[in-house]
Amino acid sequence: MARAIQPLKHLVVANGEPLVWGRRTYVMGIINVTPDSFSGDGLDADIPAIVEQAMRFQSEGADFLDVGAESTRPNSVRVSESEELARLIPAIEAIASKVKIPISVDTHKSGVARRAIQAGAVIINDVWKLQVDPKIGQVAAEFGTPLILMHNQETLQYNDLIPDIIASLANSVNAALKFGVAGENIIVDPGIGFGKTPDHNLEIMRRLPELKALGYPLLLGTSRKSTIGRVLGLPVDQRVEGTAATVTLSIAGGADIVRVHDVKEMVRVCRMSDAIVHDWRPANWRR
């Protein structure tokens, strides 16, 4: 029997709405404070541009902002903690002073996570699910912040794809719980494009309901990914329709959060999908 998903406490998302899982799909807007993002939208250290994008995403209906200062694209160069902090902290401080929606920090370093929370972030998004730096679990427990655990691995080898991903995520969840992270603060992500082939990514999309058996809110990040480019034969700047298809199917498969670059377009995709899947209606709807 699947674990009942508990509400995330103390978070208010778009339009001052309290977060309630299952009511609708939540949209996380990506802000890359890097010079080498795979999607071509890295803003590096341009603080005015970073703040402008954050405010635009908020106005377009984003529920969260996910800010990262180290590229996770294939073959990217790892940056030092000091360099990541130099890029990240001014950006988070500037964003936090201007927006009302929660800020997530995309990092796998506990020192960076701690400084980011002190600067204004309220969610930690660990793309290595405590594998690289387990102390991220300690930081999340200490500050009581939600923790996103994303599946990732160095190789493309699996014994059985979905059971392997579920088992690996379950191990990381248990590690987080042992550190003292509250169960209601854990979110899982199967890691589309991380340690997977394009065929693996498509299989994950087909089998999303199996991941819900973990009993935690599910985040999907398919936006502009190379699998979309492979299927459609399109460059990264022409993948909005492919992303829309994956977002729609993510929602049908049980995703609770979608992490996207094109916020305005994907908020519209989510709301139409939510009207069907979750029986969601806008505030001005008359039945």
Instruction: List, for residues 247-258, the tens digit of each pLDDT value.
Output: 999 999 999 999
Question: What pTM does this model have?
Answer: 0.93
Tally Cβ neighbours within 10 Å of residue 208.
Answer: 19
With 0-12 / 13-18 / 19 or more C-beta atoms within 10 angstroms meaning exposed / middle / buried, residue 277 is middle
pLDDT at 83 over 60: yes
Report d(CA 29, CA 46) in Å as an integer.
Answer: 18
CATH superfamily of 14-277: Dihydropteroate synthase-like (3.20.20.20)
Instruction: Give the residue-averaged pLDDT of 23-39.
Output: 84
Instruction: Give the residue-averaged pLDDT of 70-79.
Output: 71
pLDDT at 115 over 70: yes
pLDDT at 156 over 60: yes
Distances (CA, A) of 203 to 15, 229, 255: 35, 16, 15
Mean pLDDT, the chain, integer? 92
Report d(CA 233, CA 200) in Å as an integer.
Answer: 18
- Predicted local confidence at residue 101, as pLDDT: 96
Active site residues: 225, 259
